[in-house]
Amino acid sequence: MAKDILKKPDALYEVYHRKPGEDKKNIHYCPGCGHGVLHKLIAEAISDFGVADRTIMISPVGCSVFVYYYFDTGNIQAAHGRAPAVATGLKRANPDTIVISYQGDGDLAAIGGNNILQAANRGENITVFFVNNAIYGMTGGQMAPTTLVGQKTMTTPYGRSVQNEGYPIKVVELLATLESPAYLERCALTDAKNIAKTRKAVRKAIKCQIDGKGFSLVEVLSACPSGWKLTPVQAKKWITDRMMSYFPLGVTKDVIDEREGYHPEKVKLTGDRIEEILGLKKEKLFRDKSMSEVPEQYRNPQIKVAGFGGQGVLLLGQTLAEAGMRHGWNVSWIPSYGPEMRGGTANCQVHISENDIGAPVVDFPNILIAMNKPSLDKFEPTVQPGGIIFYNTSLIDRKPERDDVETVGLPFTDIGDELGSLRFANMVVVGAIIEKTRLLDEDIVKEAMKEVIHNKKFIPDNIVAIERGMAEAKKLE
């Protein structure tokens, strides 16, 4: 419906109360800046569609960081380049929200390049307005990813050179190579015709989101007279003469009509459901135990578990940590392993302590579990005097050389194999640790093991393995 009066749209505040200083009626942009025009076009569309009350504008970093001064909508200001990630969260938490990310070229194409790429590739149902003025305006006119070849900026005083800085990034063409986006177009804020086209594109992009059609982005070539050191009228001409030949206007992707609208229900998370998801509802076996009940040399132990990847080294450490937690102690567990899932070296480091744990790293363990020879060779010298070494005689053909530590050598791998699988070896070790250190209680360890083992069908076998480990360790005495 054509309006009889054209004036400031309702989606812009009458008075900009958030703006500091005396002047609360004028926007902060320089004379002739394209931001103001785009603000008006977006605000007009939001007002006309009647969605201001459910719109959230996301301000970027750059000149338009103060979008939240002006728009009478919800507003969030995102970290540099991260507007698409913030938009994703907002949209997914509240699918009814109309989320509009407003970003400049430094924000979107440089520091936020991957953010926009991934949001577009996920096909987030958000609308992005990308203001391309080929320069970092706010910080004083430095080169942007979109700065034209030959364009002089503060950081390219002789002009952008292809050899040194490469070519400007064409964002809508780049995103058009992805399957997910629904609508991508480049417009320009120049003459009446192009502004009218921009207006149409702005409305189409917002409508795309309202209809649940998916990701839309409109790139707007926009003047920065201050950054370009031109008058506003010259700047407008510069867009036409210089920018448009490299950044051609037009639609690079439009599959809106081919798509069904997708309108997901808002996921409502109640307290009960959250507790269920986090596993807080389950009855768990806990028993407060004082470290004074533990033999002195094993109190507040620092544990290192090392072996080949695939020997269950990490799971072994997790079982000890989970069990420690269920005794009311503080625990930490960190793994360290090579890139291969099986066959490389792996180790994990576990703290179990009555006290606060500072660093989770264990450089000098008082409990070492060495599941293969390289681990014993490497870590035996690091064990604290008075500590204990559990070593796997199935794979280690020597005894530890240290005489100031206790040593427990058992054929853990062979015992596991005998119980039905090499993979039970780690729980045989756990059994031996229970028996030898008296740190952890058997019943609690068994419950902890059930928690950390994902495939529940192996639980009975692993219980047998723990008991066998205890029995074997007892025999050594």
The least distance separating another protein from the CB of residue 216, rounded to whole angstroms, comes to: 21
426 in Cβ contact with 453 (< 8 Å):
no
Token pair of 100 as six digits: 């509009």
User: Nearest distance from residue 244's CB to another protein, in Å?
Assistant: 17
Residues that bind another protein (CB under 8 A): 2-9, 12, 25-27, 29-37, 39-41, 43, 70, 191-192, 195-196, 199, 225, 231-233, 236
Nearest to 449 by CA among 324, 301, 309, 361: 324
Which residue shows structure tokens 């480049």? 186
Three-state DSSP class for 9?
coil
C-beta closer to another protein: residue 34 or 141 = 34
Smallest gap from residue 213 Cβ to another protein (A): 26
Which of 34, 365 has the CB closer to another protein?
A: 34
Long-range contacts of 392-395 (CB under 8 A, 24+ apart): 392/307, 392/425, 392/429, 394/425, 395/371
- Rounded to a whole number of angstroms, the minimum distance from the CB of residue 98 to another protein is 20
Q: List CB contacts of 465: < 8 A, sequence separation 6 or more.
A: 415, 416, 419, 424, 425, 427, 428, 430, 431
- Closer to another protein by Cβ: residue 119 or 243: 243
Q: How far is the CB of 222 from another protein (least distance, A)?
A: 10
Q: Work out how close the CB of 37 gets to another protein at its nearest, in angstroms, rounded to a whole number.
A: 5
* Minimum gap (Å) between residue 41 Cβ and another protein: 8
- Cα–chain center distance at 327: 33
CA atoms within 13 Å, Cβ hemisphere of 95: 14
Question: Residue 57 Cβ, how far from another protein at the closest point, in Å?
Answer: 15
DSSP-derived pairing of the beta strands 74-77 and 55-59: parallel
CA dist 130 and 143 (Å) reads: 17
Nearer to another protein, 38 or 182 (CB): 38
Residue 234 vs 345, nearer CB to another protein: 234
| Nearest distance from C-beta of residue 23 to another protein, angstroms | 8
Tokens at 84, concatenated: 């698409």
Least CB distance to another protein at residue 348 (A): 60
Q: How many residues does the chain have?
A: 477
Contacts of 290 (CB under 8 A, 6+ apart): 354
**Interatomic CA distance for residues 126 and 78, integer angstroms:** 15
Q: Nearer Cβ to another protein, position 34 or 387? A: 34
CA neighbours closer than 13 Å in the CB half-sphere of residue 391: 25
What is the distance between the alpha carbons of residues 424 and 463, in angstroms, rounded to a whole number?
Answer: 9
How far apart are the C-alpha atoms of 274 and 44, rounded to whole Å?
41
- In this complex, which beta carbon is closest to another protein, that of residue 197 or of residue 304? 197
- Rank residues 26 and 270 by Cβ distance to another protein and give the closer one: 26
Enter the tokens of residue 389.
Answer: 């070494």
3-state secondary structure at position 126: coil
Q: Tell me if residue 184 falls in helix, strand or coil.
A: strand
**Cβ-based nearer residue to another protein, 235 or 405:** 235
Closest to another protein by CB, 27 vs 463, is 27
